[in-house]
Structure 1
């Protein structure tokens, strides 16, 4: 007779064998850290005069750029919590952009959202068949899906879009807007407060103003998916069983969990979320499909997930960080990035002091030297080259991952092959 599945039973094997995850930062401490970072940014704004780094339009653009990254990251989180590495997020986003625009310009934007989501889910289903059923290496399968999605959309685009009004071999006709909303009164009040230029208060107003000004309905859905994912995966029996497949599938199977089913569901949901991120690009960010418009956001979403330590909240912060740095390309890029050099130098000095307090003197000296070099770059120049501005999101991705690598704890069985009954 199969033993009943309980939260204690399923989690116990992973708790016994999992490496220590380290101390998690509590919400009050995290809020203090965010407030401190915002205060430091405000100080830099006052020193440099780069008001654009925290104004409402900058934050609104950052939110729009963070959404597809966050959706791709959520997709990666669902798959990897079930033990399947999903490098194919980029390809699933590409499928979402194409299918969303293809259906959107013919039958309306909300139909495009649904069809784009299904397109990404089909990519997830293919990845699940290859990795779960046939035990192909997850990285190889993901890379193959990225190549396949790019090739398939390049083949289909001329067939579907050429000859249509506004369409071409590389671009779809325009898709109608999903609509935007602005919170009346609150948006104008925060914008006026942001224009005052006060220390910290105006910067907080700019951040909040970006969240309530010209926000797409799909953005609202994407933001809601973050707490929904946390609740499903950490507060339901379904989520407990799914996570057990990523920690110890053999133990989960012994307790009656259908590991194959949960892995399939997780990877299909992963593809659907990545496809939704692609839909956002081809319907909200741009009202049309354009070849190459994902621009590696699937990979950055994967980096945001890793930065967030495979947790929805941390992932959202990582997506926001990468979206903000990406927004610098669009709004006063050179001046803003030059001002952020000073912010980077100050953060490195603070990091060096923290390392010294923890008696990591060698690391502290290296960090201090790097901070001094960054400050010298800031003091010796008035602007940064456009190439540096364009590369900033990718450089930030590498730096953040390098700095956060020591505290990461991935699901124990992530990427490991599994066969039904192998524990017998």
Structure 2
């Protein structure tokens, strides 16, 4: 499309000035971008499994473990998403998860897993209410309040465990065994995928192993966690309530001028945040494979959930990808050991090689150079070490958290008023 412009003082016979208007580039929708990244990840893992001869990278057992470990991270991240979209930084997710683990063990022991799940949500919501009272009503710094909430969660649950669980388990640091949720599998589909996985054909066996891990041994908590991702998106991005809540995190003064009760929306968001974190804690108690409540059971998953939320750029879909990444890295080292994790390093080298080519094509020389240096260092590590020590692989999710945050920090866009202490009428 071209537009011609002339001025009155110009020679009419002169060539007219033209300006070409370039139409804006159409971006892929979010779901399409997510599916593209899933395809890239599966391709890299399949290629790595073939080149390193380590099929555990895409086995169904690894996938099952990854799903189980990603679930509490996902739910904690969803809790952080609700709070921060309303403008309240919730670094107290860890403490609220601890409240949830104790509530799940207490309710589950006496009345069964469903009551345990409800108790976990209530205990987590109470933690969120305390955080909201401190930050929204009294204007306490959000970080300070979050740290206090983490200390409070550890201290209160230790006291309650000594009071209630010690006479039953004879140990103040753990509860007696708690009833678990049943698991379900798509029997026919799972058997067919098992046959494809056993063929060890490149690509086909890898996809079959991943899919089999996703449809085998699924608990109601896993279904609930996955369901809460689209529910969060629909509520926060497709309803009037969600628009008002998100506006509280962007410009609370302007939102108040439109008649929205900013305090109420912040309270609702932070209480919902605590409830989601509490449900995340319940997954550590009520899913099969767990004995019950244990002291320090969360092991920093609240912080990792916060990192997954930041990695996802405060969006539910991106958060799901971040939780899957951290859960996979944790599940890989638990189910397979240091040699398999070292093979994953080789896969990262392949991915960095692709990124180098992309950056060169876009003429981003600095980014290409940094990616090339990182690939060279990881490749050297892969060839000089036979197996990564367990002392290192145990903290793989934590290392990965630091790397992801460092890489993703350049493209992040948090809510504009996130962490800002709000006072009603301060814009007058």
Counterpart in the other structure of 1:258: 261
Matches within 5 A, 1:403-414: 403-414=407-418
| Larger radius of gyration between Structure 1 and Structure 2 | 2
Partner secondary structure for residue 185 of structure 1: helix
Q: Report if aligned partners of 1:177, 1:287 keep a CA contact under 8 Å in 2.
A: no
Q: Report if aligned partners of 2:34, 2:317 keep a CA contact under 8 Å in 1.
A: no
Counterpart in the other structure of 2:165: 161
Q: Structure 1, residues 395-424: CA drift from partner, whole Å, max 9, x if none?
A: 111111111111110011111111111122
Partner secondary structure for residue 101 of structure 2: helix
Counterpart in the other structure of 1:229: 232
Could you tell me how far apart the structure 2 residues matched to 1:299 and 1:24 are? 31
Could you tell me how far apart the structure 2 residues matched to 1:25 and 1:393 are? 29
Counterpart in the other structure of 2:23: none
C-alpha change, 1:402 and 1:218, in structure 2 (3 Å) is same
Question: Which runs of no fewer than 5 residues in structure 2 stay unpaired?
Answer: 1-25
TM-score by length of 1: 0.92
Could you tell me how far apart the structure 1 residues matched to 2:28 and 2:85 are? 18
Matches within 5 A, 1:390-405: 390-405=394-409
Could you tell me how far apart the structure 2 residues matched to 1:353 and 1:235 are? 38
Deviates more, 1:181-190 or 1:131-140: 181-190
Could you tell me how far apart the structure 1 residues matched to 2:356 and 2:252 are? 42
Over the residues paired in the alignment, what is the CA RMSD in angstroms? 1.4
Could you tell me how far apart the structure 1 residues matched to 2:183 and 2:369 are? 49
Counterpart in the other structure of 1:290: 294
Per the TM alignment, residue 363 of structure 1 is displaced from its structure 2 partner at its CA by 2.9
Q: Structure 1, residues 30-74: CA drift from partner, whole Å, max 9, x if none?
A: 322321221121111011111111111110110000000000000
TM-score by length of 2: 0.91
Counterpart in the other structure of 2:178: 175
Could you tell me how far apart the structure 2 residues matched to 1:228 and 1:29 are? 20
C-alpha change, 1:112 and 1:30, in structure 2 (3 Å) is closer
Partner secondary structure for residue 378 of structure 2: helix
C-alpha change, 1:353 and 1:211, in structure 2 (3 Å) is same
Q: Structure 1, residues 306-352: CA drift from partner, whole Å, max 9, x if none?
A: 00000001000100000000002221121210111111111122222
Matches within 5 A, 1:5-84: 26-84=30-88
Per the TM alignment, residue 149 of structure 1 is displaced from its structure 2 partner at its CA by 0.8
Question: Which runs of no fewer than 5 residues in structure 1 stay unpaired?
Answer: 1-21
C-alpha change, 1:167 and 1:240, in structure 2 (3 Å) is farther
Q: Does 1:200 align with 2:203?
A: yes
Counterpart in the other structure of 2:329: 325
Q: Report if aligned partners of 2:72, 2:301 keep a CA contact under 8 Å in 1.
A: yes
Q: Report if aligned partners of 1:100, 1:283 keep a CA contact under 8 Å in 2.
A: yes
Deviates more, 1:58-67 or 1:327-336: 327-336
Could you tell me how far apart the structure 2 residues matched to 1:32 and 1:210 are? 20
Q: Does 1:127 align with 2:131?
A: yes
